[in-house]
């Protein structure tokens, strides 16, 4: 069984580029025989106004799920009911101070890419930062 994670987006290409950089993924290349997704969409008869309405990123090592980004007409209106936890702080036995440094470094890197820091939480020996991606989708760095 394979899992795909789907994001609704205003700008699928930009959001895919953000998450590819954030997760160490790459943009999914077009099908064999096509130099671009635009060429593939044209060959499929997709109307011009619907082209570039989707994008995808894939794990270069093929071990993690594919992410699919699709354009929707409505904007985000409420808190996500599901969110990603991106583990950047090392293994569970990594000392708290070291995890804090790793999370803070990644928070800065992703903020430079367009993410927004919402809040940082430290409790019960855990440390994480809640962020939003460039379109306001919440995720945690831990």
All structural domains of the chain with their residue ranges: 4-71, 84-141
Q: Which of 86, 81, 89 is nearest to 64 (CA)?
A: 86
Lowest mean pLDDT among 31-40, 54-63, 71-80, 110-119: 71-80
Rounded to two decimals, the pTM is 0.91
| CA–centroid distance for 139 within its chain | 9
Check if CATH label 2.60.40 holds for domain 84-141: no
Three-state DSSP class for 26? strand
User: Which option is the CATH number for 4-71: 3.30.70, 1.10.260, 3.30.720, 2.40.160?
Assistant: 3.30.720
| pLDDT at residue 142 is higher than 90 | yes
| pLDDT at residue 51 is higher than 80 | no
110 with 141: CB under 8 angstroms?
A: yes
């Amino acid at each position: 069984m394979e899992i795909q994670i789907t994001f609704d987006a205003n700008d699928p290409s930009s959001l895919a580029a953000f998450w590819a950089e954030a997760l160490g993924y790459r943009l999914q290349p077009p099908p064999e025989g096509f130099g671009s997704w635009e060429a593939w969409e044209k060959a499929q008869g997709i109307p011009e106004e619907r082209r570039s309405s989707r994008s995808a990123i894939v794990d270069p090592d093929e071990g993690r799920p594919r992410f699919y980004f699709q354009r929707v007409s409505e904007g985000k209106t409420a808190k996500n009911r599901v969110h990603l936890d991106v583990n950047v702080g090392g293994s569970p036995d990594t000392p708290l101070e070291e995890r804090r440094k790793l999370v803070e470094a990644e928070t800065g890197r992703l903020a430079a890419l367009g993410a927004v820091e919402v809040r940082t939480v430290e409790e019960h020996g855990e440390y994480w930062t809640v962020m939003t991606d460039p379109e306001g989708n919440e995720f945690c760095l831990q």
